[in-house]
Amino acid sequence: MNYLSKITTTRTPWLLLALSALGLELTALFFQYSMDLAPCIMCVYQRLAILAIVIAGIIGAAGHNNIIARVTAFSLWGTGAIWGGLIALEHIEMQSNSGSLFFSCEFIPNFPTWAPLHEWLPFLFEATGDCGEISWQFLGFSMPQWMLVIYAFYSIAFAVILLNRLVIAKKP
């Protein structure tokens, strides 16, 4: 238990977090540009959640000895993992109800006016696909279903390490 508590005070675990999420971002770009799979608005939001995890890992690695940096990194990690999971769940629901009259998918991301990421980085955040279309499957699962599994792993790791850190830190 002490090991899990102290793991966040070293650089390597944070770098592994950043590299794993960066690998997912690069995989998304491979799917988009090599396999010609157009990302939908939900895919774009999931990319942003993964980017939050990348940034969390970088901040954690750079400031692993600084409590403010670690709190910031934990906040971004948790936000990215949990928000990404919720977006993936919503995306799965959209795909399963794509024939419904209540199905709707925006084409322009709803980013704040002060940060129009789809205009600044269109290669990464521009939505050109349909949320209801299932254009790729692996072992019978669609991309948002796989992303839900990935976000679940990130969320579980976040919860276990954070709770362990808080419990060990409170012990005298």
Longest dimension (CA), the chain: 58
Q: Is 131 known to be catalytic? A: yes
Short-list 164, 138, 160, 134, CA closest to 149: 138
Cβ atoms of 70 and 158 closer than 8 Å? no
Q: Which helix (H) or strand (E) holds 48?
A: helix 41-62
Strand partners, 138: 141
Domains and CATH numbers, the chain: 2-97+137-170 (1.20.1550.10)
Q: Is 70 known to be catalytic? A: no
Q: How would you write the pLDDT of the chain (172 residues) with one tens digit per residue?
A: 555 556 666 778 889 999 999 999 999 889 888 888 888 888 888 999 999 999 999 999 998 888 898 899 999 999 999 999 999 998 888 878 765 556 667 777 777 777 777 777 777 777 777 767 777 778 888 888 999 999 999 999 999 888 877 776 555 5
- The amino acid occupying position 68 is I
Cβ atoms of 2 and 158 closer than 8 Å? no
Catalytic residue among 11, 43, 70, 165: 43
